[in-house]
Amino acid sequence: MATLDIDEVRASFPSLESGYIYADNAGGSQTTQGVIDRIVDYLTNTNVQLGADYFVGKLSTQRVDEGSFTIAELFNAASIDEVGFGPSSTMILENIARALENDIQPGDEFIITYEHEANNGPWKRLAERCNAVVKFWEPTPVSAENPYSVTYKVEELLPLVSSRTRLAAISACSNILGSLVPVEEAVKALRQRAKEKGAKKVEVSLDCVAYAPHRKMDVQQWDIDYCVFALYKVYGAHNAAVYVRSTAMQTSLTSIAHHFLKVDDKPYKLQPGGPGYELVYGATAVVPYLKSLTPEDDLTASFNAIASHEQKLLGPLLHFLTDAKQFGRGVRIVGTSEINLSRVPTVSFVVVGQNAIKSKDIVGVFDKKGGIGIRYGHFYAYSLVDNLRPKLDVNDGVVRISLVHYNTVEEVEKIVDVLKEVLG
């Protein structure tokens, strides 16, 4: 397996030259120079409306079209007609829910997780509008010693499936727990159980926002219908991308675009406005950057190298937070604490017990010292934090340290040094 040249990696991100340690990457990664260059190039040389017949208009249209090929490759979609763009994953999923409204019957059931509200809220609101039923796939602890060691188990998903199941909304990776859901296994089991129960039509909406920076997506292998991720968390600019399976585009969605536009069965059904042209063209630099990470010039090889490096980042952080002294002091990992490929380097924890410390106060020490950026809170996974037991203050939430492949082991050691000052 190829390894990352970390110096070469970091040279691709101009913001890292400052030496600041960015450890809030689940909230947004840094942007590669290639993306920045293409955005500047677009705004400088092709900043006109799409569809015009004059030369610059044609070039602008061509550049934006290139963005679809990039996103199709990242999703491994079967066609560029299955992918589109939007301002955020939250807005895209809300638009999908609106477009699905005519295909939902009273009594239909939605299964959702206690994860980021982007893949929860639209379905809860759709259920209210259509008199559908919402069921929750809840995470459960894996350790008797740590009640916050929760994870999602496929065997606890299946009892929720019934003859009325219409949609399952799953997060491929939790933006708080850092754990990966075995998507292919879960969807296969879900569809098999739904078939046994006699469900007529089941679709799967997958949130890949916390997954896409760390692992390669494969919507065809996963057998899913909808998928979203945010480019600004995958080394790009502030926009998001969507995959819609062609059959879902044709048979499930009603257009929410202007009534006079002939959108046929393409993603424009979900794009009532422009996709942010310069940002879409900027996205075309993401795949070349990722492929450049390994000699194979291949996304699979690059993501394997990323995953391998990220295991090295997890080591010193989880070893410190889970040692006997810190456990006795009241430190509890929120999620699983194993260092393996079933989790990414997004680590959340709380300090509870007689010597409890507010998450806000821990982060405050980092803010006061400067040079390192981490955060606290519920990170829009409000229901997840609110349903942890023993109950936490949902607004104080958890301390989250989220790393990606451009972080170094040396940076993690500096983070641990500050934690030692705070926790003792």
pLDDT score of 289: 98
Phi, psi of 394, rounded to the nearest 5 degrees: -60, -30
Which domains, from first to last, does the chain contain?
6-30+304-423 (3.90.1150.10), 45-289 (3.40.640.10)
- Does the pTM surpass 0.85? The reply is yes
Contact assessment for residue 394 and residue 378, using Cβ atoms and an 8 Å cutoff: yes
To the nearest 10 degrees (0 to 180), the angle between helices 359-369 and 409-423 is 120
How confident is the model over 109-144, as pLDDT tens digits? 999 999 999 999 999 999 999 999 999 999 999 999
Mean predicted confidence (pLDDT) in 349-355:
97
Torsion of CA 362, 314, 187, 97, to 10 degrees: 40
pLDDT score of 7: 97
How confident is the model over 65-81, as pLDDT tens digits? 999 999 999 999 999 99
User: C-alpha angle 232/235/237, rounded to 5°?
Assistant: 40
Helix (H, G, I), strand (E, B) or coil at 346: strand
Q: Strand 226-230 and strand 203-207: pairing?
A: parallel
Average pLDDT, whole number, for the chain?
A: 97
Residue 264 pLDDT exceeds 80: no
Question: 266: which 2 tokens?
Answer: 């393409």
pLDDT score of 259: 86
Q: Which residues pair with 242 in a beta bridge?
A: 84, 228
The alpha carbons of the chain give a radius of gyration, in whole angstroms, of 22
